[in-house]
Structures are given as C-alpha cells and as structure tokens.
Amino acid sequence: MTIHSPFVLWFTGLSASGKTTISQAVCKYLLSHDIRRIEVFDGDVIRTNLSKGLGFSKEDRDTNILRVGWVAQRLFNHDVSSIISVISPYANIRNQVRTSIGKGFIEVYVSTSLEECEKRDPKGLYQQARAGLIKGFTGIDDPYESPINPELNIDTSKLSVEACTDKIFTYLSQNNYIK
Amino acid sequence: MTIHSPFVLWFTGLSASGKTTISQAVCKYLLSHDIRRIEVFDGDVIRTNLSKGLGFSKEDRDTNILRVGWVAQRLFNHDVSSIISVISPYANIRNQVRTSIGKGFIEVYVSTSLEECEKRDPKGLYQQARAGLIKGFTGIDDPYESPINPELNIDTSKLSVEACTDKIFTYLSQNNYIK
C-alpha cells in the first residue's frame, strides 16, 4: 500500500463520539502497511504542543482549529498526510481549513449521537457539564454545528471500529489517495 | 543542489540583529536552486499562526519556542528542513529544541551587538523599551543568553548579507547537509 496523493483526514464530532479510537485504528493500519508519511494529531498532542494558553471561548477554539489546520497544511504541502481528531464544533472554521488544504481535505463526521456520547462519558465530562461544573461544553451549553456535506459520516454506535476503518479505507482507495 | 540530510537552521539573536534578512537570503538561494523541501518560520509567520494568545513572560516565550521547535521537528521527521528566525533568548529552551531535533539542528547565532541593533532600531522598539513603554524587551530589561557553542556565529555589522549566506552554505556543504 502507498499514498498516491496526500490527504488530511479531519475527524469532527462530539466529545466521546469515537474520533480518537477510529483515527488510531486508521493510523495503526497505515503503519502496519509501512506507510510512514503521516502525522497524527489528537486532543492530547494538540493541547500539549499547540494550544497551551488557549481556552474554550469561541475565539480561542477558532484559533486552535486554524492553528492545527495550518500545521497540517505545512505538512500536506510536503506530501505528508495528517490524521486529526478535534471536536471542531464550528462549521465556518472547519470550512476555512478545508479551503486552505483544497483537494485532500476529507471531513469525517463522527456522528455518534449526544445521547450515546453522554452515556459513554469516559472522563465524566458530560456529567460535570450537566452539573454546571464545566461551562461552554460542546453539545451541552455550546453548539456543535454538524457538517452538511462531509466526505464521510460514521456513527460509532452503529458500526464496529473495523467497519469504520473499512469505510475510510474504501473511500481513500476509491478516491485514489491510497493504492 | 540537493538536500542530502534535513536540517533546522535556527537563527537566534537580538531584535534587529539581521536574523530575518539572512534567513530570507538563505531561503531565496535554496529556492533559486530548486530546493523546495523547506519551510520558513519568521516572527510574523509565528505570531500569526502559532503564538496568538502568548505574551512575553518567560513562560510564554518558552512555550512559543518549544511550539515552533515541535512543528519543525514534525517536518524534520519527514525530511523537510526549516529555516527559523526567533530571538529565542533563553539557552535552556534552545537546547531543548536542539535535543528534540538531534543531528540536524544548526544554531546560527546572529551576534550583532546590542549597540548596533539599537542604532538600527527599524521599528523604534528599542526606543520604546528605553522609554519604558515596552516592558521585558530582550537586551534592555530582559536577558539574552548568548549561545556558548553555536554551529555558526554571524555578526551582520561586520559581514555583508552575501558573506553571511556564503558562510552558512559552506557549513551546510562541508557537513553534508547539501550537495
């Protein structure tokens, strides 16, 4: 397997929707096929290395997303693909990143429902948000603007991890990103 | 000319020491020789795309430098070289970046004296700092820790732009970064 054309796989969706799980499975699969020209950016990587000093206001969230998009673009310009998992709740900013990348930007909407995400709540964040201990939490008291025409739509409550990654690789293959 | 081994050319020095001028000349020369696997990070690029939200405290300056270094490392891992101009006044943080890159990190100390930089003062910043209108200005009321063993030392008050870039390309060539 080789990357024929670089891409930015942009996983967007609510907290606990399964973005990181799926993106890690995709990454693992690529590495197991000896594909190394990739970088993975998930919430932890971004918080540690790129967003220190930013909060959760709309402005700070936008700055964060544009920053991640900018780094992905730098890599993309040199044929390095990125796999990115960020809630990225605002459609307008996601579309700015889309425009900056152009062909190669693949929006993967992880559309797992709020009810399901809240049921999972692995870090207890929804519970804290419901109790008012966390303010501006996406899906509770801050909006999530669903993608209108995402390249892919994945609901991790209906598909297994394998089925989700299959769907992604089918897309990548059919659109000549990988061969 | 080709890049044989990727590098991170890290220009450190006082404000107005000539870091950006020299780095732009280096970049222009590389591009004119059809070398495209490079990225250039100067103050403006960094402020716009990476450091919004950071100030000039020691902690914020350190975060900024580590962040630029982290992006350079991501690129470096994929054989993309970077040309970076930042005051980066603290030796300890520069050395952290050096360690993260390993072989390939080239510290270029732009050692133009404070007197000369203050005489140039193209943006009137030194004047404002002397008047107390800007606080924590490197060289005036914030320290600049000179590199002890930089790979290159360049004083732009003694060498022309051409002589500076020659010195850099001689180093790159003699150390097998370019051929």
Residue A163 lies in a domain: yes
Q: Which chain A residues touch B67 with a CB distance below 8 Å?
A: 49-50, 52
What does the pLDDT read at residue B49?
92
Q: How many CA atoms lie within 13 A of A111 on its CB side?
A: 15
Q: Cα–Cα distance between B173 and B179 in angstroms, integer?
A: 6
ipTM value, please give it: 0.90
User: Is the residue at A1 inside a domain?
Assistant: no
How would you write A2-68 as a 3-class SS string?
A: CECCCCEEEEECCCCCCHHHHHHHHHHHHHHCCCCCEEEECHHHHHHHCCCCCCCCHHHHHHHHHHH
Residues A171/A25, Cβ–Cβ less than 8 Å: no
Structural domain includes residue B3 = no
Domain that holds residue A130: 8-174
Q: Which of A151, A146, A124 is nearest to A137 (CA)?
A: A124
Contact, A107 vs A150, CB < 8 A?
yes
Rounded to whole angstroms, the Cα distance separating A105 from A93 reads 13
Query: Does the CB of A54 have a partner CB in chain B at under 8 Å?
Result: yes
Total residues belonging to chain B: 179
Q: Where are the beta strands (DSSP E) in B111-164?
A: 152-154
pLDDT, tens digit only, all 179 positions of chain A? 899 999 999 999 999 999 999 999 999 999 999 999 999 999 888 988 999 888 888 899 999 999 999 999 999 999 999 999 999 999 999 999 999 999 999 999 999 999 999 999 999 999 999 999 999 999 999 999 999 999 999 999 999 999 999 999 999 999 999 99
Q: With bands split at pLDDT 50, 70 and 90, how would you rate the model's confidence at B55?
A: confident
Distance of alpha carbon A150 from alpha carbon B141, whole angstroms: 52
Q: How many C-beta atoms surround the C-beta of residue B117 within 10 A? A: 23
Contact across the interface for A49 and B70, Cβ inside 8 Å: yes
Whether A2 maps to a domain, the answer reads no
To the nearest whole Å, the CA of B162 is away from the closest chain A CA by 28
Give CA–CA dist B179/B33, Å, rounded. Answer: 11
Q: How far apart are CA B45 and CA A12, in angstroms?
A: 27
Find the residue in B nearest to A63 (Cα). Answer: B52
Q: Is A5 a catalytic residue?
A: no
CATH number at residue A30: 3.40.50.300
Q: Number of structural domains, chain B?
A: 1
Q: Is B134 on the interface with A (CB under 8 A)?
A: no
Contacts of B66 in chain A (CB under 8 A): 49
**Residue A38 located in a structural domain:** yes
Q: Would residue B128 count as lying in a domain?
A: no
Helix, strand, coil share (%) of chain A residues, nearest 5: 45, 15, 40
Please count the other Cβ atoms lying within 10 Å of the Cβ belonging to residue A131.
Answer: 9
In a domain, A179, yes or no: no
